[in-house]
Amino acid sequence: MKKVLIIGSGPAGISASLYLARSSIADVTVISNGKGALAKAEMIENYFGFAEPISGKQLLENGKKGAERLGVKFIEAELTSLGFTDDMRYEAEYVGGRDSFDAVLIATGAARKAPSINGIKDFEGKGVSYCAVCDAFFYRGKDVAVIGSGDYALHEASTLLQTASSVTLLTNGQETNIELPEKIKLIKTGIKALHGSDRLSSVEFDDGSSISVSGVFVAVGTAGSTDIARKLGAAVDDGKIIVDESFAANVPGVFAAGDCIGGLMQVSKAVSDGAAAGINMIRYLKQI
């Protein structure tokens, strides 16, 4: 049996899991932190098969139960990183564990927006990064900061600690209950602006203080679709993962479906994407 990881238990991820589980060639695991778009939808009345409106939560619950009946396993946790193993399989790190897989479907919903901090957009690619594992190398021996306050921020800060001279976690006014390694400094003051000339050189805070840094890594909330894609080197454009007609990203064995690839952001389209991605993943798994 091949091992497949589906990131996201929304309509796209669940729909793909049904096809993959029924193929009998895949052992399917879905990981989800339960914070998708459908969970926020009060009532759905434009999706096939319901005589009365159904809440987003109930629709999700029904979908999960149907997948479980077919043998799909669920992990309720936040995925913090996705990388390669030495034998070119995929290694997922999540809060509470890690495991490796033969293929991955990213179905994590629409990308979250960057925090609205003055200068953040201006320094993208010039000191502002969204992926520690991709860019840590460029900041070896330098002072860097991570913006965020949760497990994803801790993961990014810990990755940077291996190469950077110093790492400071900036919660931007948020409280945090994560346990930071001693070497990571913590600043909870709100961020006013990022400054620099050609490249980022400092962060200014609401209280007028500032710190000098060469890089700021954005890791607010959970790892979103584009953060996860970037860690694998998969192409992303304008917050969307680029896929071909078989829903494959430009990295073998990585597929994406639903809101994270753009287009109509509706349940029906996410279900359709998931079905097509699932079928194409079965084809891929038969070839490897």
Ligand X SMILES: Cc1cc2nc3c(=O)[nH]c(=O)nc-3n(C[C@H](O)[C@H](O)[C@H](O)COP(=O)(O)OP(=O)(O)OC[C@H]3O[C@@H](n4cnc5c(N)ncnc54)[C@H](O)[C@@H]3O)c2cc1C
Q: Which residues bind ligand X (CB under 6 A)?
A: 7-13, 31-38, 40-41, 44, 46-47, 78-79, 107-109, 222-223, 258-259, 265-268, 270
Q: Which residues make Cβ contacts (< 8 Å) with residue 140, sequence separation at least 6? A: 163, 164
| Residue (7 or 203) nearer to ligand X, CB | 7
User: How near is the Cβ of 150 to ligand X at its closest, in Å?
Assistant: 10
User: How near is the Cβ of 239 to ligand X at its closest, in Å?
Assistant: 13
| Residue (150 or 215) nearer to ligand X, CB | 150
| Residue (47 or 204) nearer to ligand X, CB | 47
Q: β-pairing, 254-256 with 97-101?
A: unpaired
| Residue (23 or 32) nearer to ligand X, CB | 32
User: How near is the Cβ of 269 to ligand X at its closest, in Å?
Assistant: 7
The burial of 35, by beta-carbon neighbours within 10 Å (0-12 exposed, 13-18 middle, 19 or more buried), is given as: middle
Q: Which residues make Cβ contacts (< 8 Å) with residue 260, sequence separation at least 6? A: 8, 12, 106, 107, 108, 109, 110, 111, 225, 226, 240, 241
User: How near is the Cβ of 19 to ligand X at its closest, in Å?
Assistant: 14
Give me the amino acid identity at 62: N
| Residue (194 or 270) nearer to ligand X, CB | 270
The length of the chain in residues reads 288
| Residue (25 or 70) nearer to ligand X, CB | 70
